[in-house]
Each structure stands twice: as structure tokens, then as C-alpha cells.
Amino acid sequence: MAYYEEDELERFSEIGKHRPDLFEKFMAWYQACQEEGALSRREKALIGLAVAHALQCPYCIDAFSQSCLEAGSNMEQMTEAIHMASALRGGAALIHGLQAHKSVKRVSM
């Protein structure tokens, strides 16, 4: 069995085989989130791309890379979004250094 095969994204609806009521609610919510609103579809696609990288989800990275292109974004903009996600992940790890400092301080003279 191979993980993360390309056609699996298109088979997403198979998740609804069990408890379809929950899957339908999820899909309605998911679709509604992506509609044009106070944020444009392009902005939402860039947010999606950034989050996909933070989550390191290959399905979402593929889907939102395409969404970004079809919303009119270019690689420069997409790369900035990816850097934002990566910087936040890096910063979130680094700020935990304070926890290490506290831990070390607690047992140090």
C-alpha cells in the first residue's frame, strides 16, 4: 500500500461512506468558506496554500496550488504565502525556547 497517491484527492467523497451526514456538513462548510466574501477568492486561496504548507498536507498543497493559479496568483505571491506559513512555524518553535529557558532555570543555581 502506498501513501499519498495522486488520485486520492478525487476520492475524498469516499470518506462520506460512513456517517455521510457529518461529511455533508463538512463539505457545505468547506465550500461556503471558499466563496467570495469580505476576502476575495484569491486571498482565500493564498491562505489555503499557506495553511496547507503549515499542515504539510500534500493533498491540500496540490489543491490550493491549482486554486491559486486559477485565482490569478503568481509564483512570487504564492512563495510569499508559503514563507509566511514557514516563518510562523519557525517562530512558533523558537518562542518555545523560553519554555526550555524556564525549565533549565527551575533546576539551576
Partner 1 sequence: MSSVLPVIQPALQPQPRTDVDFDEQLAAHGIELRAATVESLQVNVGKLCNQACKHCHVDASPARTEIMTRETAETVIDAVRRFHMPVVDITGGAPELNPSFRYLVREARAAGARVIVRHNLTVMFEAGQEDLPEFFREHAVEVVSSLPYFLEDRTDAQRGQGVFKKSLIALRRLNAAGYGKAGSGLTLDLVYNPVGAFLPPPQASIEADFKRELMNRYGIAFNHLYTITNMPIKRFLDYLRRSGNEERYMRKLVEAFNPTTVDGLMCRSLVSVDWTGRLYDCDFNQMLELGVAPELPQTIADLDPARFARRRIMTGSHCFGCTAGAGSSCGGAVAVNS
What is the binding site for partner 1 (CB under 8 A)?
6-7, 10, 40-42, 66, 69-72, 74, 76
Q: Which is nearer to partner 1, 21 or 35 (CB)?
A: 35
Q: Is 47 exposed, middle or buried (0-12, 13-18, 19+ CB in 10 A)?
A: middle
Q: Which is nearer to partner 1, 42 or 89 (CB)?
A: 42
Cβ 8 to partner 1, closest distance in Å? 10
Closest CA to 16 of 28, 5, 6: 28
Instruction: State which H helix or E strand residue 87 sits in.
Output: helix 75-95
Asked if residues 74 and 83 have their Cβ atoms less than 8 Å apart, the reply is no
Cβ 88 to partner 1, closest distance in Å? 26
Q: Which is nearer to partner 1, 69 or 92 (CB)?
A: 69
Cβ 39 to partner 1, closest distance in Å? 13
Locate the DSSP E strands across 4-91.
none
